[in-house]
Amino acid sequence: MLQADVITALGTMSGTSLDGVDAAVLRTDGVAIHGFGPTSYRPYSTAEQMVLRAHLGRWSGDGVDAATRIVEDAHIAVMRPFGGIDLAGFHGQTLAHDPAQGRTHQCGDGYRIACALGYPVAWDFRSEDVRQGGQGAPLAPFYHFALAKWLKANAPMAFLNLGGVGNITWVDPRLARPEEDGALLAFDTGPANAPINDAMRQRRGLAFDDAGVLARQGQVDKGILAAFALHPYFEKPPPKSLDRDDFATLLDQTAVFDDADAIATLTAAAVEGVARAMAHCPIAPSRVLVTGGGRKNETMMDRLVVALRCPVQPVEAVGLDGDMLEAQAFAYLAVRVARGLPISAAGTTAVARPCNGGQLATPA
């Protein structure tokens, strides 16, 4: 079944924002997109979020098993109602990511998921890339390449994901395969929603700055923004990746500001990271399509339109679902894992050669 031409795959994603689990169906042969299917979402409760947040940065030890069980149970709950699935992609939850030391930790056991659901599950997508010297992230770019082909794009373009951390994929759809030299360049741009969400939670008990309303009311601290722009990460050539808390000092630096000024400054920092990223693109993209929660932040989007010298639109403008793009990506990657196709390359994670990552778990 898994070697058939087109199969029905279910992908899941639980991102650095820790809001919950996205699930989406994709029909694909692991190369082209043949259709989109139903989607679902299972939020983490406040108590579950507290456990997960308490274990960010941890590799093992007290409580990690409890965090893992929360992740697995939430995924099983959102995946079980889907019918007609041939294969699933289970990303797990990133607790820690340190490619410089050759390690990454996405908690969750694909074998438990496969046994609970009764069909094969591709999982552990990042470890092999890191073992081979890659950054292990981002992994959505191969799917972005397929999307550019689906859109029939004929010029370089970019997908910008504004989740907890921002990442960008520059795509040249004129090439045939994503692993070809020059087809893709992908890397993390800097902090996006994570510091904003953390500040909103600390200050107002809210999960995020809805539509960027609070940021629009505040004044950006130009000194903090200028210092942020000088961070050595932005000069480092891509591919490159970040941990969720690599820029955690931004929260400390804005702690003395009132709520609106703090959120305005954190929002401007997210945009500045994207603007700095554009300098690394081989050719200026013809357009930037934005996915992730940040596309709903009107202040962030307005600032991006000003900062970038090309059209900037949410992915919905071309008929895609920005809430489910990453879940779809792991459905797509699951099929590639099952068929022995690479899921990362030098232009996406800096791995030395195209990498066939991931494991395939089959139910007992």
Cα separation, 348 vs 355, in Å, equals 11
pLDDT, average across residues 154-167: 94
Q: Is the pLDDT of residue 123 over 80?
A: yes
Q: Does residue 100 surpass a pLDDT of 80?
A: yes
Half-sphere exposure of 278 (CA within 13 A, CB side): 17
Report residue 146's pLDDT band, with 50, 70 and 90 as the boundaries: very high
What average pLDDT does this structure show over 331-356? Answer: 96
pLDDT confidence of residue 244: 77
Render pLDDT for 247-306 as a digit per residue (tens, 0 to 9): 889 999 999 999 999 999 999 999 999 999 999 999 999 999 999 999 999 999 999 999
DSSP 344: B
pLDDT score of 241: 80
More confident residue, 80 or 164: 80
DSSP class of residue 323?
T
Report in angstroms the alpha-carbon separations of 71 from 19, 51, 77.
12, 10, 10
Between residues 59 and 123, the one the model is more confident about: 123
Alpha carbons 81 and 100: distance in angstroms, whole number: 39
Asked if the model's pLDDT at residue 129 lies above 80, the reply is: yes
Rounded to an integer, the average pLDDT of 145-169 is 96
Domains of the chain (ranges, CATH numbers): 7-135+326-345+353-361 (3.30.420.40), 141-318 (3.30.420.40)
Position with higher pLDDT, 61 vs 214: 214
**Listed range (92-96, 128-132, 225-229, 255-259) with the worst mean pLDDT:** 92-96
Share of the chain above pLDDT 70, in %: 100
Highest-confidence range of 49-63, 84-98, 236-250, by mean pLDDT?
84-98
The rounded mean pLDDT for the chain is 95
- CA dist., res. 143 & res. 220, Å (int): 35
Q: What is the mean pLDDT of residues 143-172?
A: 96
Identify the DSSP state of 175.
S
Packing angle, helices 259-278 and 222-229, rounded to 10: 30
Q: What is the mean pLDDT of residues 153-174?
A: 95
pLDDT at 1 over 70: no
pLDDT per residue as tens digits for the range 199-258? 999 999 999 999 999 999 999 999 999 999 999 999 999 988 887 778 889 999 999 999
Task: Indicate whether 62 pLDDT > 80.
Answer: no
Confidence at residue 243, expressed as pLDDT on a 0 to 100 scale: 76
Find the helix packing angle between 141-150 and 325-338, rounded to 10°. Answer: 100
pLDDT tens for each residue of 184-203: 999 989 999 999 999 999 99
Q: Which of 1-10, 58-67, 294-303 has the highest mean pLDDT?
A: 294-303
pLDDT at 339: 96
